[in-house]
Amino acid sequence: MDKTQGTPTTFIKSRSSKLRIFLVFVAIVLLVAVAGLCVLVIYSYRNTPDRQVDSSGQFDFLLEDEEVTLVNYYNYNAKTCSIPESVKFGPKDYPVTKIAANAFTDHSALVELKIPNSVTKIMGDLENKKGAFSGCVALERVIFSENLTDIGGYAFKNCLSLKSIVIPASVESVGEGAFKNCLALQSIELNSNGTLSSDSFGNCLQVTALKLGDEVELNDNTRLAFSSLVNLTDIVVTANSNYHYDEIGKCLLETINTENDTLVLGGRDTVIPSSVTTISNWALSKHVADSLYIPDTVTNIAVNAIDNDVIFTNATSKPVNWATTVPVHCNAQLCTFIANDEEESVDACIYQGESGVVEPAFEQLFPNLEPTMPFECWEQIGDTTTYRAKYYSDTITGASDTLEDAITDAEVYIFDADVRMRFKIDFWESFKSSYYRAKSLSAKAAVTFDYIVNNHVTELNEKVNMIQEALNGTNYQNLLESTDYQVGLRNLVEVVNQLNEIDYENAVNDNNLLSEFDIVKLTAESFLKGIITYEKPMELWKTLREKYENIIVDIDENSSPLCKEILTCEMLNRTDYTQASWAELQACLQKAYQVTEHNLSISNVRRALENARQNLCEEGIEKQMVRLQVWLSICDDLVPENYKTGTYDQLDIQLILIEGKQDELVTKDAINTALAGLQTSYTNLEREKDVPNYGSKLFNINLIQYFIVTAILFTGAVVVGSISGFLKRRAR
């Protein structure tokens, strides 16, 4: 019986032992497979580049050699952007060290950008002349990484709104065209000794300020890069031991030998100090104005040191070792200009001989000086080359009570209609203007300079005396209007017909006054031509005279037209006009400021200022053509596939039209029309938004950690299950 029952027990034990061995084998195989897979994945993870778009769907990153490159930024409507400093790939954070050549290209809405300190390279595409931020036309502010080493070629090309840049000390190279066509760029701060390309700042026409860091050295390459800054005026060095900034000459000098200086960099307003003997390559180049004065102390000028129209020197002949080929006019003089007897003298250029005399405007030499008395003109001191500022001070002395007496004397005549009608209109306007100016000064005598008050006391008294003598018949008969009303009326109509719109300022908001004036004027003209008869021609004359005096501007109480003219002139850009015409405008503007400050008569000054503005000579259409070329470059750089077909087609039509009208773009109006059409089409562009999905690929790097955990849990479950089954069967 025992024998027959032992056979099944042995069979069950045998099957259980085999099953246990099989399960253990399966578990071992799974563990080895998972371990191998983990090794394979980890090995691939460390050595094969991969991509991911962040959770916000904005940044597209590439991982390679444990460093991350920002490949694309997909938020085309963002105005501000702060690039992440690091990115998580799997369980590990990796630093963002590079910005790819097309990462932000043509992001037209971006205004402000912050680049983290992890970034060392901003890349460019030299072949296609594009860069990481090229075409960001609204970009105004950039905060660079403090560890940045490379700014690639064309990185910020066509960033039309960028106003200032600060290049960190860590930068080793600034590539070709890196900041080309940044038309609004006004200031550059360079803290690096890195290599600059000759075209790094091409067409940066508005840059006026350059600040150099403490350790910057101006080698030939650096000066060549700065040679394109044609309107450079302000050069700033702080603790830089390599150079000394000459405040008077507005230029940088080497400090090796103050008796034998080398001029290494100058600007548009540079006046070469007499200590300079050498001018370095590219030191002045295209910065200086059309004319330049070089003292005879200069014995050596490098070949490419100067690139302007003409040179003046006090040397009797051009030194033989001057390498420049620019025309040289000898025997010119360097004159000294003195603000007043207390101020130190300032040297500036004044050319004599065949070129005539060119005097600088007062505010050009003394922009920060607040003179105690308004400036009138330069006054030459004897036969010397020294000019002193002449002020409005050559008048008699007096006090405010003298002004009141003059006003009282004038009032005897000013309100007498019969007396007014006896004098010619131009003289009476002058007299009335003097009276009202004096009245205005009387109210401000406590804050008005005595010499201004006294000047107008003299002026008003002179006119009162002229009236008295004319009325007495002893003198000044030429001031009197004819008693023949027809002659008087004819003269008045002639004066009225010479008025222009600017003379109607008192009546611009009074339609009734204008209508009444026009009716009386028409009646007077018809009467003089014999078209109509008029019973009381003397009354017609008086009425027209009164309407004329009500409508014409000749007192300072309505100073808004002058203020508007000043504002118009202040909004003009100096770089658009020639130096001579700009200086003339500034001289008129200086007097206009004095008028508004001291509440003097405005009519003559306002007209002079208006004429000076109208007489401004533009530099030509070259700068406007540059702007058009820049916009053509922006549009040519666009990738058609990135935009909706309909909107890009409109832009393409504009490009074709402009290309076909190249021969017609010879006037500013034509250029402006082409430019406006191009900008409108650019503004109407619509993006094709396509954010890639890197999550569908096999062994997506973001899912690796979850795959490994799942595999380990599954293997563990199999092992635990096999051991549990074995223990249960053994218990039975």
Say which residue, 574 or 54, is predicted with more confidence.
54
Tell me the three state secondary structure of residue 322: strand
Output DSSP code: residue 202.
T
Residue type at 523? T
> Distance (Å, rounded) from C-alpha 19 to C-alpha 76?
63
Sign of torsion, CA 71 73 74 76? Answer: negative
Q: What is the mean pLDDT of the chain?
A: 78
299: enclosing H helix or E strand: none
Q: What are the sequence ranges of the domains in the chain?
A: 2-49+701-731, 58-207, 333-360+376-391, 560-614, 622-683
What pLDDT does 635 receive?
93
Residue 43 has pLDDT above 70, yes or no: no
What pLDDT does 249 receive?
83
Site of tokens 């860091």: 213
Say which residue, 16 or 669, is predicted with more confidence.
669
Rounded to the nearest 10°, the torsion over CA 144, 146, 151, 155 is -10
Calculate mean pLDDT across residues 246-252: 86
What pLDDT does 534 receive?
83
pLDDT tens digits for range 5-27 = 555 555 455 555 666 666 667 76
**Side-chain-facing half-sphere of 81: CA atoms under 13 Å:** 29
Residue type at 519? I
Residue 519 has pLDDT above 70, yes or no: yes
Of 569, 578, 583, 586, nearest to 619 by C-alpha is: 578
Cα of first residue to Cα of last residue in the chain, in angstroms, is: 21
Calculate mean pLDDT across residues 701-713: 60
- pLDDT band, very low/low/confident/very high, at 698 (cuts 50, 70, 90): very low
Tokens of 363: 């505010």
Instruction: Give the helix, strand, coil percentages of the chain, each rounded to 5.
Output: 40, 20, 40
Q: State the angle between helix axes of 425-443 and 450-472 in degrees (0 to 180), rounded to the nearest 10.
A: 140
Calculate mean pLDDT across residues 214-241: 87
Q: Which of 519-523, 632-636, 719-723 has the lowest mean pLDDT?
A: 719-723
The DSSP annotation for 454-478 comes to HHHHHHHHHHHHHHHHHHHTSS-GG
Residue 306 has pLDDT above 70, yes or no: yes
> Distance (Å, rounded) from C-alpha 361 to C-alpha 215?
36
Cα angle 618, 288, 357 (rounded to 5 degrees) comes to 75
Tokens of 227: 């040679």
CA 591 and chain centroid, separation: 27
Site of tokens 């295209």: 286
Tell me the three state secondary structure of residue 92: strand
Residues constituting the chain: 732
Of 588, 599, 532, nearest to 565 by C-alpha is: 588
> Distance (Å, rounded) from C-alpha 99 to C-alpha 121?
6
pLDDT tens digits for range 339-357 = 655 455 555 666 655 555 5
Of 186, 166, 159, 76, nearest to 115 by C-alpha is: 166
Calculate mean pLDDT across residues 396-411: 72
> Distance (Å, rounded) from C-alpha 387 to C-alpha 360?
11
Site of tokens 């005396």: 465
CA 36 and chain centroid, separation: 63
Residue type at 709? V
Cα angle 639, 640, 644 (rounded to 5 degrees) comes to 130
List Cα–Cα distances, 328 to 332, 335, 588, 650, in angstroms.
10, 18, 32, 53
> Distance (Å, rounded) from C-alpha 314 to C-alpha 34?
90
Rounded to the nearest 10°, the torsion over CA 342, 343, 349, 350 is -20
pLDDT tens digits for range 50-94 = 788 887 789 999 998 889 999 999 999 999 999 999 998 878 889
Residue 443 has pLDDT above 70, yes or no: no
**Side-chain-facing half-sphere of 218: CA atoms under 13 Å:** 30
Highest mean pLDDT among 405-419, 510-524, 634-648 belongs to 634-648
Rounded to the nearest 10°, the torsion over CA 425, 430, 434, 437 is 90
What pLDDT does 664 receive?
83
Burial 466-498 (b: 16+ CB within 10 A, else e): bbeebeeeeebeebebeeebeebbebbbebbee
Rounded to the nearest 10°, the torsion over CA 497, 502, 506, 511 is 70
What pLDDT does 604 receive?
56
Residue 714 has pLDDT above 50, yes or no: yes
Are 410 and 467 in contact by the 8 Å Cβ rule? The answer is: no
| Residues β-bridged to residue 64 | 67
Of 279, 274, 276, 306, nearest to 291 by C-alpha is: 306
> Distance (Å, rounded) from C-alpha 97 to C-alpha 15?
62
Site of tokens 């097309």: 102
Residue 481: which residues within 8 A CB-CB, separation 6 or more?
421, 422, 423, 424, 425, 487, 488, 491
> Distance (Å, rounded) from C-alpha 334 to C-alpha 347?
7
Residue 566 has pLDDT above 90, yes or no: no
Residue 627 has pLDDT above 50, yes or no: yes
Site of tokens 């709104």: 161
What pLDDT does 375 receive?
66
Q: Which of 174-188, 608-622, 634-648, 715-729 has the lowest mean pLDDT?
A: 715-729
Of 634, 680, 679, nearest to 106 by C-alpha is: 634
Are 270 and 288 in contact by the 8 Å Cβ rule? The answer is: yes
Of 460, 424, 425, 423, nearest to 440 by C-alpha is: 460
Say which residue, 295 or 359, is predicted with more confidence.
295
Of 191, 183, 190, 186, nearest to 156 by C-alpha is: 183
Return the number of other C-beta atoms located less than 10 Å from residue 348's C-beta. Answer: 20
Q: What is the CA radius of gyration of the chain?
A: 41
CATH superfamily placement of domain 58-207: Ribonuclease Inhibitor (3.80.10.10)
Give percent above pLDDT 70 in the chain: 73
> Distance (Å, rounded) from C-alpha 169 to C-alpha 149?
9
Calculate mean pLDDT across residues 602-621: 69
- pLDDT band, very low/low/confident/very high, at 258 (cuts 50, 70, 90): low
Calculate mean pLDDT across residues 265-282: 88
